[in-house]
Amino acid sequence: MRKILIAAVLIAASMAAPPAATAETLRFGSDLAGWSVVQFPGIAPAHFAATDDATLSIATDRAAGMLWRPLSGTTQHARTARWRWRVNEGVAPTDLTRRGADDRAIGIYFVFSDRPEPATGPLETLASSAVTALVYVFGGDRPRGTVITSPHMGARGKFIALRDADAGKRVWFDETVELAPDYMRAFGRKMPTLIGIAISSDSDDSRARNRASVQTLVVE
C-alpha cells in the first residue's frame, strides 16, 4: 500500500511540474523566418539582417527598433540562455534610467507572462499589465550586474547591465545568464512563463549610430 501511495505522489508531482526545456538555438535565417521586425511610431527604423543562420547584424542611424520572436512549447520553460555579441560601433555611455536618454547598442529581452496572452502584436504584448521583461544590456554606464528599472515599462521591466558602452569594440563577448535567479533578484518573485524574446537597438536620442551583432542565441 505504501509503495502505491509513493508512486501516486511521484506521478502527481511529475504531472504538476512544467516540462523540462531542451536546448534550442533560435536561428535567424536569411529571411528572419519566425521573427518580426518592430518599428516604433515616429522613430526611424533599425535594420536587422542575418549574416547566416546563427548571426544577426544590427544597424541604427539615429534610429531604434526591435526584432521579436514568440515562443511556444518546452522553450517557454527555459531557465538558461547564452549567446555571443559584439559592438563594432556604438553610442556613448548613457543613463539607462532616463527616458529619452537611454540609448544602447543591444538589449536582449526575455518576456514573461502570468497568463496566456491574446494573439496581439509585440508592442501590444509588451504593454500588457500581465507581462514583464528582463532585459540584458550591452550599453549604458552601469557596472556589470546592475539591475535598472526600465524608464519605459516601469516596474514591469528590468534591465540587467552586462557590458557597458565602453567595453571593447569589434570583440566577441560570450554571455550565459540564469533566468530564474535573475528574475527573482529583479522582481522579487518566481519567474513566470517565458512567452517571447526580442533583440533591440537604439540611437535616436543621442542622434548617433550603432553597428552590432548577436550570434548563437540558445535557450534551454
User: How confident is the model over 116-132, as a mean pLDDT?
Assistant: 87
Q: Binning pLDDT at 50, 70 and 90, where does residue 116 land?
A: confident
CA distances from 96 to 7, 92, 119, 147, 202 (A): 52, 12, 30, 10, 12
- Architecture of 20-219 per CATH? Sandwich (2.60)
CA distances from 141 to 110, 133, 145, 217 (A): 21, 20, 12, 24
**How confident is the model over 16-44, as pLDDT tens digits?**
445 566 789 999 988 899 999 999 999 99
Q: Closest Cα partner for 153 from 179, 177, 187?
A: 187
* pLDDT score of 21: 64
**How confident is the model over 167-181, as pLDDT tens digits?**
999 999 999 999 999
Q: Closest Cα partner for 194 from 128, 152, 106, 132?
A: 132
What ranges do the domains of the chain cover? 20-219
Q: Closest Cα partner for 107 from 41, 147, 161?
A: 161
Q: Among all chains, which residue has been given the C-alpha cell 553610442?
A: 91
**How confident is the model over 143-165, as pLDDT tens digits?**
999 999 999 999 999 999 999 99
The Cβ-side half-sphere exposure at 191, using a 13 Å CA radius, reads 23
Q: Closest Cα partner for 204 from 77, 38, 61, 105?
A: 61
For the entire predicted model, the pTM comes to 0.89
With beta carbons less than 8 A apart as the criterion, state whether 119 and 135 touch: no
CA distances from 183 to 71, 133, 180, 214 (A): 18, 9, 5, 22
User: How confident is the model over 73-100, as a mean pLDDT?
Assistant: 95
